[in-house]
Amino acid sequence: MPKLSYRDASLAAVQHSMREDQTVWCVGEDLGRGGVFGQYKGLREEFGEERISDAPISEAAIMGAAFGAAMIGTRPIVEMRFSDFALCATDELVNQIAKARFMFGGQSRAPMVIRKPMGLWRSSAAQHSQSLESWYAHIPGLVVVCPGTPQDNYSMLMAAIACDDPVVYLEHKGIWDIEGEVDFSKKYEFGKAKIRREGSDVTIVSWSNTANLAVEAAEALSGQGVNAEVIDLRSLWPWDKEAVLQSVAKTGHLVVAHESVAVGGFGAEIVATVAEKAGHTLKGPVRRLGAPRSLVSYAPNLEDMLRVTSEMIVTAAQETLEKAN
């Protein structure tokens, strides 16, 4: 299997999909020069400007035009550059795209992928560092996914492009360069989590880059005699409730960690579901980690104060085990 970066895995997914399906095309800013992060590099040369379409700086126009194109039979990949910029097109996404299939009684659909690079990234400050996945998980009609590895960024993007519903596709800006083996034959099913590490003492649930940190935390815990199970949700809607509930029933302990703001975050949905469905299996207090409700500073030392780290995950796991009933 080839070893690819997170960036190149997504590039391969777009390239393979465009070769197989002539209705797939890309639209957004800076695509002609390969995209802000190089995730479209070389595609204009292969597919031409009609299928790798550079757009003016108007997110609402980009999203609206792609929606119209999706409704008449094409499969647009919409590049928003940063998830923060996509807020300029929130009405098109939330009030039109998400509701199209329902409001037209199934006679029309919006098979499109909306790529929104998310997360903390080298002093990008308050307007370019947000993780807003919980917002989109709240909206009926949207599929919401957060790949955290090169393999997932290939398989999940392939699945998203083939999906007949709109997919909010949230890639983490800080991990474009991480590398891993990619099996081009591996398929992805929406709503299926991945057990990144099996364990029996404590369940750690996460997604996106924080899932990678959770794996690091689990390895550190193993050196202390703690066997942690790491679940990478990958998909926030639909999400794999059964995988989480089965793991918690086994371990009796739960830590949920994510980079986005803890207040109203999707971690709260996971904790509430476990409390309702499997609260009787818990042996210790649940720990939930997320960013404080604070704006992100440009200064690296202040930015770092908002990060959820592998060390924090280790501490949270230790605390729930220490306070076991």
- Average the pLDDT over 170-182 and give the result: 97
Closest CA to 83 of 9, 21, 134: 134
User: For residue 208, what pLDDT is reported?
Assistant: 98
Residues facing 77 on adjacent strands:
26, 113
116 touches 172 (CB < 8 A): no
Q: How far apart are CA 222 and CA 211, in angstroms?
A: 17
Question: Which residue bears the tokens 């076991």?
Answer: 324
The two structure tokens encoding residue 85: 């910029």
User: For residue 325, what pLDDT is reported?
Assistant: 57
203 touches 232 (CB < 8 A): no
- Average the pLDDT over 18-22 and give the result: 97
The two structure tokens encoding residue 167: 């997919």
Q: Strand 228-232 and strand 202-206: pairing?
A: parallel
User: For residue 224, what pLDDT is reported?
Assistant: 95
81 touches 29 (CB < 8 A): yes
Is pLDDT above 80 for 72?
A: yes
201-221 tens-digit pLDDT: 999 999 999 999 999 999 999
**E strand map for the chain:** 3-5, 24-28, 52-54, 75-79, 113-115, 143-145, 167-169, 179-181, 194-197, 202-206, 228-232, 235-237, 254-261, 287-291
User: For residue 121, what pLDDT is reported?
Assistant: 85
35 touches 8 (CB < 8 A): no
Is pLDDT above 60 for 71?
A: yes
Is pLDDT above 80 for 323?
A: no
Going by CATH, does the domain composed of 3-181 fall within 3.40.50.970? yes
User: For residue 303, what pLDDT is reported?
Assistant: 87
User: For residue 90, what pLDDT is reported?
Assistant: 93
Closest CA to 221 of 251, 248, 201: 201
User: For residue 178, what pLDDT is reported?
Assistant: 97
Round the average pLDDT of the chain to a whole number and report it. 95
Number of H helices, E strands in the chain: 12, 14
- Average the pLDDT over 275-302 and give the result: 92
92-114 tens-digit pLDDT: 999 999 999 999 998 889 999 99
Residue 292, Cβ density class (10 Å: 0-12 exposed, 13-18 middle, ≥19 buried): exposed
Q: Please list the active-site residues.
A: 128
Per-domain residue ranges for the chain? Answer: 3-181, 194-322
DSSP state of 66: H
Lowest mean pLDDT among 83-87, 172-176, 214-218, 256-260: 83-87
Residues facing 130 on adjacent strands:
none
Q: How far apart are CA 167 and CA 78, in angstroms?
A: 10
What CATH class does 194-322 carry? alpha beta
The two structure tokens encoding residue 321: 């085990």
Q: Do domains 3-181 and 194-322 have the same CATH topology?
A: yes
pTM score, two decimals? 0.95
Longest CA–CA separation in the chain, Å: 63
First to last CA, the chain: 46
